[in-house]
Amino acid sequence: MNRADCVNEDARDPLAPLRAQFALDRVDAAGVIYLDGNSLGVLPKSAIARTREVVENEWGVGLIRSWTTAGWIDRSQRIGDKIARLIGAGPGEIAVADSTSVNLFKALTAAIALNPGRSRILSEKTNFPTDLYIAETLARERGLELVLVDQPDIASHLDDRVAVLMLTHASYRTGRIYDMAAITSAAKSAGAMMIWDLAHSAGALPVDLHGAGADFAVGCGYKYLNGGPGAAAFIWAHPRHTARMDREGWRPPLSGWLGHAQPFAFASHYEPANGIQRFICGTPAVLSMATLECGVDTVLAAADRGGMTGIRKKSLALTDLFMRLVDGRLAGRGFTIVTPREPDQRGSQVSIAHPDDGYAIMQALIARGVIGDFRPPDILRFGFTPLYTRFVDVWDAVDRLASVLHSAEWRDPKYAVRAAVT
Ligand SMILES: Cc1ncc(COP(=O)(O)O)c(C=O)c1O
């Protein structure tokens, strides 16, 4: 495949028109190729007008009335219903609130409470650190053991001691994905609860929580959902669990007033709201919720172009092209592709490891206008968001990476200086 083939591929791409949803004109004009939508999605154009509307009119004129008249109070549920369509959940099953870390704490606490008499939380060693940190502290507090194993050893550790198996569907490091249905089924057979972190899956690939029989899920609003920096995250619980919580009057660990059955009764004692609503804690960040909804809408806009299946098809084509170009053009440069080649085993990113020099190479590449990121000890990460990443971007990104290596410009000492965010 050459550059002209990539241009032709873009011309044939059914998702190509959806790129116009994003405010990329200035990014394109600056010659920047953005391959980091797995960390922070691109700004949807609609978010600019929507933020203005919320600030100038809903807040500026509507003031406190807008909680009702503009529907601010129902925004979590409304956006949750939209996200549900992307991940195989039902309406009314998702709460949008807080961060993924906080929601994971809530989900873990609930899963442990619903599965008493067991002593372990099981996870995988390279799971995202926040997931492991939250589980570590909760395990300590509850007198449980957090057991971290290598991926191939998960199944053999599923026994009657495991209360919860907690995994991230698509690895932030390698992009490897689990077979959600198979792992969930193994967890259920062992009597364990299954929690999925969908941070790198929601909006990136089809997910079927109900089909897999999962128990809980959490996920991120600012990555493939394009919700903006620090956008609220989401939490999902299977309705069989929320129904049980309703029957038993189960109190969530963060029992804030907006998760109360009647927040505006201002009662002195907590009584949980029914369903997923109990996982709401305090007042939502309305401005941020507005941009999140715009972001989720950019993904839903693919509905008549194949939806998540169409997104997945293009995602696999982009990642496959990237890997083939890296193989072809960067052979002998010390790179190892650590993302699985098998399409059913990778998400929407490609990670390439480079011993010792990965950080400096990524900084030099960013200076050449290709934005990816670096994860220690040695991983250069490239995310592909089919809504706005073009085939020609993939070609040009690898071309620039080849130039960075050929010119050895990454050896400039300034590229070795670690920034606060890598
Ligand atoms: C798998 C995973 N979980 C959670 C998070 C972040 O959680 P939070 O939104 O609480 O910062 C990330 C961020 O990159 C992630 O990759």
In a domain, 421, yes or no: no
Asked if residues 363 and 322 have their Cβ atoms less than 8 Å apart, the reply is no
Q: Where are the beta strands (DSSP E) in 271-345?
A: 336-337
| Shared domain check, 140 and 164 | yes
| Model confidence pLDDT, tens digit, residues 138-151 | 999 999 999 999 99
- CA gap 384, 394 in Å, rounded: 9
Q: Is 189 exposed, middle or buried (0-12, 13-18, 19+ CB in 10 A)?
A: exposed
Query: What Rg do the C-alpha atoms of the chain give, in angstroms?
Result: 22
Kindly state if the Cβ of 197 falls inside 6 Å of ligand 1.
Answer: yes
| Shared domain check, 375 and 240 | no
- What pLDDT was estimated at residue 238? 98
Sign for the CA dihedral angle at 154, 155, 157, 160 comes to: positive
Instruction: Clarify whether 197 is annotated catalytic.
Output: yes
In a domain, 57, yes or no: no
DSSP string across 375-409: ETTTEEEEE--TTT--HHHHHHHHHHHHHHHHHTG
Could you list the residue range(s) of the whole structural domain that residue 37 is in?
Answer: 3-44+307-416
Q: How far is the CA of 199 from the centre of ligand 1 (A)?
A: 6
CATH number at residue 401: 3.90.1150.10
Q: What is the mean pLDDT of residues 189-218?
A: 98
Q: How far is the CA of 174 from the centre of ligand 1 (A)?
A: 15
- CA gap 106, 65 in Å, rounded: 31
CATH number at residue 292: 3.40.640.10
Kindly state if the Cβ of 99 falls inside 6 Å of ligand 1.
Answer: yes
Q: Which atom of ligand 1 is nearest to the CA of 172?
A: 16
| Model confidence pLDDT, tens digit, residues 342-377 | 999 999 999 999 998 999 999 999 999 999 999 999
| Model confidence pLDDT, tens digit, residues 281-320 | 999 999 999 999 999 999 999 999 999 999 999 999 999 9
Q: How far is the CA of 165 from the centre of ligand 1 (A)?
A: 18
pLDDT over threshold 90, residue 9: yes
Listed residues 299, 322, 344: the one ending a domain? 299
Q: What is the mean pLDDT of residues 2-22?
A: 98
Task: Pull the structure tokens for residue 77.
Answer: 């549920």
Q: What is the mean pLDDT of residues 47-74?
A: 98
In a domain, 50, yes or no: no
| Model confidence pLDDT, tens digit, residues 38-47 | 999 999 999 9
User: pLDDT tier at 387 (50, 70, 90 boundaries)?
Assistant: very high
| Shared domain check, 214 and 319 | no
- What pLDDT was estimated at residue 239? 98
Instruction: Give CA 292 to chain center in angstroms.
Output: 13
- CA gap 26, 42 in Å, rounded: 12
| Shared domain check, 160 and 37 | no
Asked if residues 192 and 160 have their Cβ atoms less than 8 Å apart, the reply is no
Q: What is the mean pLDDT of residues 134-161?
A: 98
Task: Pull the structure tokens for residue 290.
Answer: 């507005």
Q: Where are the beta strands (DSSP E) in 94-253?
A: 94-97, 120-124, 145-149, 162-168, 193-197, 216-219, 233-237
- What pLDDT was estimated at residue 22? 98
- What pLDDT was estimated at residue 319? 98
User: Which amino acid residue places its CA nearest to atom 14 of ligand 1?
Assistant: 39
Measured from the Cβ of residue 354, the count of other Cβ atoms closer than 10 Å reads 21
Listed residues 299, 331, 363: the one ending a domain? 299
DSSP string across 74-94: GHHHHHHHHHHHHHT--TT-E
Catalytic residue among 22, 222, 382, 384: 222
User: pLDDT tier at 212 (50, 70, 90 boundaries)?
Assistant: very high
| Shared domain check, 137 and 274 | yes
Q: How far is the CA of 38 from the centre of ligand 1 (A)?
A: 11
Kindly state if the Cβ of 101 falls inside 6 Å of ligand 1.
Answer: yes
- What pLDDT was estimated at residue 291? 98
Q: What is the mean pLDDT of residues 261-280?
A: 97
Q: Is the omega angle on the peptide bond into residue 377 within 30 degrees of 0, that is, cis? A: yes
- What pLDDT was estimated at residue 419? 87
Measured from the Cβ of residue 256, the count of other Cβ atoms closer than 10 Å reads 17
| Shared domain check, 238 and 113 | yes
- CA gap 35, 281 in Å, rounded: 34
Q: What is the mean pLDDT of residues 141-167?
A: 98
Instruction: Clarify whether 381 is annotated catalytic.
Output: yes
| Coil, helix or strand at residue 329 | helix
Kindly state if the Cβ of 15 falls inside 6 Å of ligand 1.
Answer: no
Listed residues 299, 319, 336: the one ending a domain? 299
- What pLDDT was estimated at residue 20? 98
| Average pLDDT value for the chain | 97
Domain count for the chain? 2
SS3 per residue for 47-59: HHHHHHHHHHHHH
Q: Would you mind telling me the total number of residues written for the chain in this entry? A: 422
Q: How far is the CA of 200 from the centre of ligand 1 (A)?
A: 9
- What pLDDT was estimated at residue 385? 98
Instruction: Clarify whether 223 is annotated catalytic.
Output: yes
DSSP string across 151-167: GGGTGGG-STTEEEEEE
Kindly state if the Cβ of 8 falls inside 6 Å of ligand 1.
Answer: no
In a domain, 24, yes or no: yes
Q: What is the mean pLDDT of residues 32-61?
A: 98
| Shared domain check, 239 and 123 | yes
Kindly state if the Cβ of 172 falls inside 6 Å of ligand 1.
Answer: yes
DSSP class of residue 319 equals H
Instruction: Clarify whether 222 is annotated catalytic.
Output: yes
Q: What is the mean pLDDT of residues 178-205?
A: 98
Residues 6+ apart with CB under 8 A from 94: 80, 81, 83, 84, 234, 235, 236, 276
| Model confidence pLDDT, tens digit, residues 80-112 | 999 999 999 999 999 999 999 999 999 999 999
- CA gap 121, 105 in Å, rounded: 13
| Shared domain check, 336 and 244 | no
| Shared domain check, 280 and 146 | yes
| Model confidence pLDDT, tens digit, residues 400-412 | 999 999 999 999 9
Task: Pull the structure tokens for residue 356.
Answer: 């010792």
Q: What is the mean pLDDT of residues 25-29?
A: 98
pLDDT over threshold 90, residue 420: no
- What pLDDT was estimated at residue 421? 85
Kindly state if the Cβ of 47 falls inside 6 Å of ligand 1.
Answer: no
pLDDT over threshold 90, residue 422: no
Task: Pull the structure tokens for residue 391.
Answer: 């085939």
| Coil, helix or strand at residue 240 | helix
327 to each of 52, 111, 408, how far by Cα in Å? 46, 44, 19
| Model confidence pLDDT, tens digit, residues 73-88 | 999 999 999 999 999 9
